[in-house]
Amino acid sequence: MTEEALVADPQERFQDFFKSDKYRQRFSEMAIASKTSLVVDFGDLLSTDSALAEDIIERPDQYLEHANRAALAQLQIQEPEYAEEIEKVSVQFKNLPVTMSLRKLGSDHIGTLVMLQGIVVRATPARPMVTRGAFRCRRCGTVAYVDQTTPFLRDPAQCTDPACRRIGPFDFLQEQSTFIDSQEIRIQERPEDLPPGQLPRWINIKLTERDLVDVARPGDDISVVGVVRAVAPTLPRVGKLRVFHLHLDANFVDVLSKEHEAVLTTPEEEKQILELARDPWIHRKIIRSIAPSIYGYDHVKEAIMYLLFGGIPKQFPDINIRGEMNALLIGDPGTAKSQLLQYVARIAPRGLYTSGRGTTAAGLTAAVLRERQGGMTLEAGALVLADKGVACIDEIDKMRPEDRVAIHEAMEQHTVSVAKGGIVATLNARAAILAAGNPALGRYEPYRTVAENIALPVTILSRFDLIFVMRDVPEKELDAKMTDHILRLHRTGAVPVEPPIPADLLRKYVSYAKSFKPVLTDEALSRLRDFYLTMRSASETEGTPIAITARQLESLVRVAEARARIALRKEILAEDAEAAVAIMKRSLEEVGIDVSSQKVDIDLIMTGKPKSLRDKLGVVLGAIVSLEKETGMVEKKALLEKLETEYDVTGSEAERLIGQLLKEGTIYSPREGYLKKT
């Protein structure tokens, strides 16, 4: 057999493969959509010609070239005019039989075709790259063409005109050179694939096809097929190093999770899900399936259930209203907060867990980094990577205040805005936030307000839909049950109660339910309306605290939507509204009760001060102002006497109130024992 016959052989085999009806149709679609690439399902090639499929994986450089030539030849037969127009077809392969783990990628794979999966953490802007340079000789004006393969622009070795043959100089002709778009992205291992205690691995991917550039953005979960390359970095004046760096030349990029409905369900699983949804006790079942090894806390698990399923985001011409819920757990040490959070991060279709101590503002939102080649790139942080999922932030009270400010915008607007180093961008961060924190004094003090109990600014507290206090109170019966539960866990090493819904199915259930968009029925609407207006009307009389604000009304709607969604219903029924009201009442009772007047006061969460305290501060301030008119500077002794006789405020309480006003800077002490209003 001659050598030419051998070389022509793979191309002919590819052309035979392209003659099938499926791919003939794809060539016609290519011409209509004016694309330059043809996507081939690797499974089709395996079933038609398995030897050829193996050759592509082992020697992609030669065989991809054969495939491209065969595709162009087939296009010339089918769509001759379009083939003349584009001159080159690139064949892209998708769905290789094996997905290579980023960890296992090594020297054995150099030069082979592999498929990798990961999350895009950074992407450079698309830049034109020259593939064939045109150079004009300055002496004789002859134009020579040089194919460019190296990172640096290469001149011709000498002039191509036999009469000239000079070694230069040459001028680069931009108009006659050929350019393609190029981009570099970096993918990192997915959090769920990461072995414990390991740093996530990453690899840079070079995209040089027109149809691949700008397909994936930071935060996208992608699958890439490409050829593994190794390049030795060069040091100036020393030469190339012995240790090479791996990167991937992409052949095809597939974005897996634009939406997390992409968690695939088989027909059998879909049948199971629909079967479960018909169960009238489905909500109880899901609550029992959430972290079954953790005893009790049914109301917290119920809140987590609503948070996983989420409400429905609304887009209006002028404003957007978020659909995802945010929940905060404030708890004494040892109340299994972190365990709950890590469980949620595992079960959510796109969940990330992070702890407050080692978390910075840039790590949560987005970092602007300087590139080697100059210029800046954006690298996505945890909230952007958890877009359309759940971000679990543990120890939120231990975060530095300047870092915590970064999550304000993400919690209410669901975006992350960056204006740094010349980059002005707004990224999506449509994540539900589940946060946990410890009380400021080690234990939750029931006679102090929430704002005093947890070292969080009011601005963040008010953005949580539901806040729960997990208190560790000794109680004979409960303690006995909890002890049995924990000891049984340790003895058997298995979950004492088998969850009604296995974790894998629960994750798929959450994904499946997300496609439902329930609407409020009249009964549900009137229940929510009645509850809200009753709570508001209680606050109408002078001197009573404001019990509830519009933010809580929106939270109520979100909870009701989530509850209807769990049962895969198209409508929100009265029972959903009742459940939403019940859990909201529970949350308000735990955190929104003014300790001194025992009334629900939403200002505790909104402003950090209950109405009773604000009233008393007003009294003290009034007394200072009236005394100032008489004496100019107010003597502290005289003030304390006046407060006790006229306003019935005891000495110790007056001292505390004066101390608070001094701390806030509303009054100041010009000299020892005297006070004045600022």
Confidence at residue 279, expressed as pLDDT on a 0 to 100 scale: 83
In sequence order, what DSSP letters do the residues of 483-517 get, joined into one string?
A: HHHHHHHHHHSS-SS--SS-HHHHHHHHHHHTT--
Element (H, E) at 92: strand 90-94
CB atoms within 10 A of CB 330: 27
Confidence at residue 594, expressed as pLDDT on a 0 to 100 scale: 47
Question: Strand 320-321 vs strand 519-520: parallel, antiparallel, or unpaired?
Answer: unpaired
Q: Which residues lie across from 246 on neighbouring strands? A: 230
Answer whether the bond into residue 169 is a cis peptide, omega within 30°. yes
Q: What is the pLDDT of residues 520-561, one digit of tens each?
A: 889 989 988 888 887 777 655 544 455 567 777 888 899 999
Query: pLDDT > 90: what percent of the chain?
Result: 2
CB atoms within 10 A of CB 275: 9
Confidence at residue 502, expressed as pLDDT on a 0 to 100 scale: 83
Nearest in space to 180 (alpha carbons), one of 38, 37, 71, 26: 37
Q: Considering Cα of 659, then 662, then 667, then 668, what sign does the dihedral take?
A: positive
Confidence at residue 115, expressed as pLDDT on a 0 to 100 scale: 92
Amino acid at 469: V
Question: Strand 634-635 vs strand 674-677: parallel, antiparallel, or unpaired?
Answer: antiparallel
Judge residue 49's burial from the number of C-beta atoms within 10 Å of its C-beta, 0-12 exposed, 13-18 middle, 19 or more buried. Answer: middle
What parts of the chain have a pLDDT lower than 50? 1-8, 259-262, 542-544, 594-598
| Structure-derived torsion over alpha carbons of residues 51, 54, 58, 61, reported in degrees to the nearest 10 | 80
- Cα separation, 457 vs 606, in Å, equals 10
Residue with the two structure tokens 């054969």: 66
Helix (H, G, I), strand (E, B) or coil at 465: coil
Report yes or no on whether pTM surpasses 0.75. Answer: no
Q: What is the pLDDT of residues 613-672, one digit of tens each?
A: 666 777 777 777 777 777 777 777 777 777 777 766 777 777 777 777 777 677 777 777
Q: What angle do CA 217, 221, 224 make, to 5 degrees?
A: 90
Contact of 94 with 114, CB cutoff 8 Å? no
Contact of 409 with 386, CB cutoff 8 Å? no
Confidence at residue 228, expressed as pLDDT on a 0 to 100 scale: 92
Q: Assign 3-class secondary structure to 357-401.
A: CCCCHHHHCEEEEECCCCCEEEEECHHHHCCCCEEEEECHHHCCH
First to last CA, the chain: 101
Question: Strand 376-380 vs strand 314-315: parallel, antiparallel, or unpaired?
Answer: unpaired
53 secondary structure, DSSP code = H
192 secondary structure, DSSP code = G
- Cα separation, 632 vs 629, in Å, equals 6
3-state helix, strand, coil in the chain (%, to 5): 40, 25, 35
Question: Strand 466-470 vs strand 326-331: parallel, antiparallel, or unpaired?
Answer: parallel
Residue with the two structure tokens 């003939």: 24
Domains and CATH numbers, the chain: 3-94 (3.30.1640.10), 102-256 (2.40.50.140), 519-606 (1.10.8), 611-677 (1.10.10.10)
- Work out the mean pLDDT of the chain and round it to a whole number: 80
Pull the structure tokens for residue 605: 């969460």
CB atoms within 10 A of CB 621: 15
